[in-house]
Homo-oligomer: A and B are copies of this chain.
Amino acid sequence: MGIEIERKFLVVGEAWKQGLTPERLSQGYLNRDKQRTVRVRLAGGAAWLTIKGESRGATRAEFEYPIPVEDAEQLLALCDGPRVEKYRWRVPHGGLVWEVDEFLGDNAGLVVAEVELAAEDQAFDMPSWAGEDVTADPRYFNSSLASRPFKDW
């Protein structure tokens, strides 16, 4: 198991994109219950099954297992609700790599940046393009975006 400690922010502008190439991610949920999300993710010819426990602050339990891509395609068909599709940009800033997700489809227009930390109180440098802190807002959980996409907010 791992512990995931992650802060999440809205993103301002597009300057952070410069010189970077994103990866396309496609994911669905075998369970969207926030106490035990079960995610199937396809990305760049690889696939994972990921289970996360409930968040306490910025922290939650995370278990991740690689699975065959062929299985992932079929598991996505078993998922509850539509897939979440996005481009993921890895943006180096202040010694950390921020993951900026630019959502597609029913979530188009939403851009969110996440930074993974080693401890809840770890200091980090905020990029100029990071806006409102939405770590604790359940609307921004990817598992929520599958059932209640950005276009319906």
Contact = CB atoms under 8 A, between A and B. Distances in A.
Interface of A: 1, 30-31, 33, 35-36, 38, 49, 51, 53, 61, 63, 65, 67, 70-71, 74-75, 78-80
B74 A1 contact: yes
A153 to B, nearest CB: 26
A75 B63 contact: yes
User: Could you say which of A33, A71, A75, A78 has the most chain B C-beta atoms within 10 Å of its C-beta?
Assistant: A78
B65 A78 contact: no
Given A38-B38, A51-B78, A78-B53, A70 B30 contact: no
B49 A74 contact: no
Nearest to A65: B65
